[in-house]
Structures are given as structure tokens and as C-alpha cells.
Chain A
């Protein structure tokens, strides 16, 4: 008896929902078409012709490879740091009660709740006050700060679903703190951490606002793209890079979704 569910939606609603989803997806699909256009000077539509030559041209560009390499390294290290900090925070908040517990969640969310430009400029002026020169590590510091929250959100959601008596049961059966962590806690939060890590990686890989403030001369891939957007010089190469970036972020998001879909939601609002 699920009469309330079996009825179909009013036509107007269907159209509005479909139009909304199309609005969300068509622009991204358009990128794929532009990657093959023969036009190099303008954004002309429809493309005068189609070619795959820009893929080879992009492949041969050392600056793109360098930017990509830097982005991957920054994302990998920021994700690793965020995994440690986010998991520790989540464990402390969900496994114990202490004064100021709510303040911790607020603190973790703050770096993404505040506009990125504030985080960026705050870190930049702190670096200059402390006379820290810009480097790979200043970029990582900024990225790890806002990546903590995605790991934290995923881990907290999983801790909440995991029965608290599991840890007691493990200790009761003779496992000390370390054994309990290895044999019970880690296997139970593992997929949530993996999902959080992937999202953190995607977040860092894509970040531009904070990075413009914490990077010196180095270019991450988003910074490279930003330059091209502000002063377009090599439109075809940018088109190809944009398409590859879309495909590359698709995979971790899908993976994270499948890792966490039984029960908890991906911490999507954590971006």
C-alpha cells in the first residue's frame, strides 16, 4: 500500500526538474565538444571542424605536465595530512564527551564556511608576518586546512553508525588500544576514510582561490587554467585540459559515492 509513492509527478514539475538537471550538465558536456574544435582563435559555435590534433599538442606541453605534477603532489600530501587530522578529530568528537565538543565541529567547518578568499588572505598575511617564503609547503598548508572537513564529515558519519560497544567488546576480549584500533576501528571506518580521502583529493586538486594566495611562482593546474582564462593564449590546449580535468574528477566522486552509499551520505555540503 504505497499509493502515495506510486503516482507520477505532475508534468510541470517533471519539466522543471529535467530542465534544471540539463542546466547543470549541458555546459560540462559542451567542454567535450570544444576539445575537438579546429578553431583556435575564438570560442566560435558551431565548431567549423573537428580534429584530435590538440590532444597531441597538449601531451607535448611541458608546462601542463609540470602543473599537473605539482597539483597531484600537493593533493596527495594535503589528503594524507587531512586524513590524520580529520580522523583524530572525528574520533575525539564521537567517542568521548568533553567541554567544547561543539566548538570543534565549528572549527573544522570554518575554513570552508568562510569565503575562500578570507582563508587565503589570512594565510598569506600570516606567512608574510612570520617571514615564511612561499613554497610547495605553503600551498599544502592551505589545502590541508580546508580538506580536513571532508575527511572529518565522512568519519564522523561512520563513527555515528558504528556501535560504540564494538570497542568495548574488543577490549573485553583482550585486545589493547592498539589492537582494537587495528582490528576493529580501522576496518569499520576504512571505506569512509577512503571516500573522505578521495573527496579531499578532488577538493585540493581543483582548488584555486586559496592557492592564488599561498603559491609563489609555482603553478598548480587550476592556477595554470586561471591564467588561461584571464588571458587566453592557447585556447585549444585549455579546452583539452578542461576536458581531462572533468574526467579525472569524475572517477574519485563516483568511487566515493559507491563506498559510502550504504547509509551515510557523501559529505557533499563539505565543499
Chain B
């Protein structure tokens, strides 16, 4: 019966003729020369990223070896380390130290705030709740960066909701005494390092939550139970079991929080003091000051710091948690 319908092959040859047309021969050619196919696939992205983008980066770095003539303001294209000498002047060194300290504190605070969220999402949230947690992290992550910064400008303003909240709780004295402290204080939260710090933590927090959650998802739940079965207190379980297992995730997240803080120039400009961070210094040097070599030298700082950071992170296995 149906066997007949399917059989009856004899009149067809085993090798079919090449299909006519350009597409047919092109397909045959690319199939026969997989190297050519690979080239066709890789050439456009490599031209764009490898040539245009990397080329720009190298051009930028090269300019850090030029110098600016202090009188004429013209850039001299002789290779020199003079610009790097300028970079280590006390004022500029202050900027670097300030930025790195801020990045370190932001990273630490993000990890502390992120851990409970990530831990709850990884270990206790199930089904619908899990999806809700995921979106609860993804939505702020992808929400407009400027809108987020703007929201904090509203919150931290002198006449804003935070001052109001402190007043309602009869804690205005606490806020005032904090603001009167040197370094972290200021006229209002929106023009203090405290404000800058809070906004940095807020904006980069999702970047810390996701890798920690990914690392914790891989910890079998019974490992935690085994630890309590063996008589460990919750504190001991955290120190000896959970924290070491979450560490690659924390390190992975810290790559983002650290790098993003190092390079940001908008948050300290909108919420913060007049003392500069690296990003602002780069912006000012290339813009108003017209000192491209020094701006370029400043960008080398985060690159070098992140280079060491990534090298260390890789050794700790952080990339598996990305």
C-alpha cells in the first residue's frame, strides 16, 4: 500500500545537479570553503569593533604620550611621559584616590544590600515569586539611568522627601549632625559625598544582585542543611558555607560596581560636591581645558585598575558566575 507511494527511486540520480543561479553557486562555494564563510561572517563585526573601536581606543591611549604646551595650549606630538608626570601631581592624585575610595565603598555597600535579595531569590523564591524577583531586579536595572539619578535628586533635595521623613520621625537632629560632619557632610544631602554614595549604590545595585544570585543558584540547598545538621549556627553556616560559595558571584558583581563607579561622571556632577572624580576630570580636561593628553592619561587609570581587578577576579573564578 503506502510502501508503493514512498518507493520508486530508480529514475533519480544519486548526485543532484547544481542549482542554477547565483545563490546556488554561492551556497556551494561557501559550503566548500568554510574559511570563506567564516570570513564573510566575521569581517563586518571585526571591521567595526576591531578596527573602528579598538583603533579609537589605541589612538586615545597614544595621545596620553603627547603633551600640551602650557603657553600656546597646542598639543605637541612628541612622545613624552610628561603628561603622566602631571597625572601624579597632588591635585590629580587626590582625584584618583577619591574615586577609588568611593568605588571601593560603593562596592562593599552594594554587596551587603544585594546579598539578602539574591539569597532569598535563589533559595526561597519559587515559581511566580521567582519570576517576580527576577523582574524586580531587571526593571530597575534597565530603567533609564538619568531618570534614576533624577529621582534621587528629588529625594535628596533639601525640600525633598528624605528631609520631610526625618522631620516626621523627629530625627532632624540626626540628619543635621551627619551633614555637619567633615568630608561626608554638606549643605544638603544632594550636595554631599553621602548623596553621591547613595546614588551610586542605588544605580549599580542590580549589577551586584544578578551575579550573586547566579552563584547561589548553584549551591545545592542540602549543603546549607548539612551544615546546620552538623551543628553549625546560622552565623557559622554563613561564614563557612554560604559566603565562600557566593564569593565568585560577589567578585563578578564587584567588577561592574567598581568599574562603573570609576568611569561615571554624571552622578557626581548632579549629586555631589564640587570636588572632582576621575570621570569629571576626563570630561573637563578634554572639554573646557582642551588638554586631550591629560584626559587620555586619566582614562588609563581606570583601565589599569580594572586590568588588575579582572586579573585577580579571574584567579578567583569570578567569570563562571557571569
Do chains A and B directly touch (beta carbons under 8 Å) in the complex?
yes
Tell me if A208 counts as interface (CB < 8 A to partner B): yes
B residues neighboring A (CB under 8 Å): 16, 19, 23-24, 26-28, 30-31, 34, 37-38, 41-42, 44-46, 48-50, 52-57, 59-60, 63, 113-114, 116-117, 119-121, 123-124, 126, 131, 133-155, 157, 159-161, 163-164, 202, 205-207, 209-211, 221-222, 224-225, 234, 256, 259-260, 262-266, 269-270, 279, 282-283, 286, 292, 295-296, 299, 302-303, 306, 322
Contacting chain B: which of A55-63, A115-123, A157-165, A185-193?
A115-123
If over half of A's interface residues share one DSSP class (helix, strand or loop), that class is named, otherwise mixed; here it is helix
B residues less than 8 Å from A119 (CB atoms): 53
CB atoms of B150 and A242 under 8 A apart: yes
CB atoms of A225 and B52 under 8 A apart: no
Given A208-B145, A226-B146, A246-B143 in contact, is the A269-B322 Cβ separation under 8 Å? Answer: yes
CB atoms of A268 and B38 under 8 A apart: no
Tell me if A233 counts as interface (CB < 8 A to partner B): no
Q: How far is the CB of B43 from chain A (nearest CB, A)?
A: 9
If over half of B's interface residues share one DSSP class (helix, strand or loop), that class is named, otherwise mixed; here it is helix
CB atoms of B154 and A249 under 8 A apart: no
CA of A91 to CA of B41 in the docked complex: distance in angstroms? 8
Tell me if A126 counts as interface (CB < 8 A to partner B): yes
Q: How far is the CB of A72 from chain B (nearest CB, A)?
A: 14
Given A124-B286, A271-B141 in contact, is the A118-B151 Cβ separation under 8 Å? Answer: no
Contact of A28 among B41, B50, B147, B262 (CB under 8 A): B147
A residues neighboring B (CB under 8 Å): 4-5, 8-10, 13-14, 16-17, 20-21, 23-25, 27-28, 30-31, 34, 42-46, 84-86, 88-89, 91-92, 96, 98, 104, 107-108, 110-111, 113-119, 121-126, 129, 141, 144-145, 148, 171, 174, 176-178, 199, 202, 206, 208-209, 212, 222, 225-226, 229-230, 238, 242, 245-246, 249-250, 253-254, 257, 261, 266, 268-269, 271
Contact of A230 among B23, B55, B269, B322 (CB under 8 A): B269
B residues less than 8 Å from A91 (CB atoms): 41
Q: How far is the CB of A31 from chain B (nearest CB, A)?
A: 5
Q: How far is the CB of B315 from chain A (nearest CB, A)?
A: 17
Closest B residue to A44 by CB, please name it: B159
CB atoms of A45 and B59 under 8 A apart: no
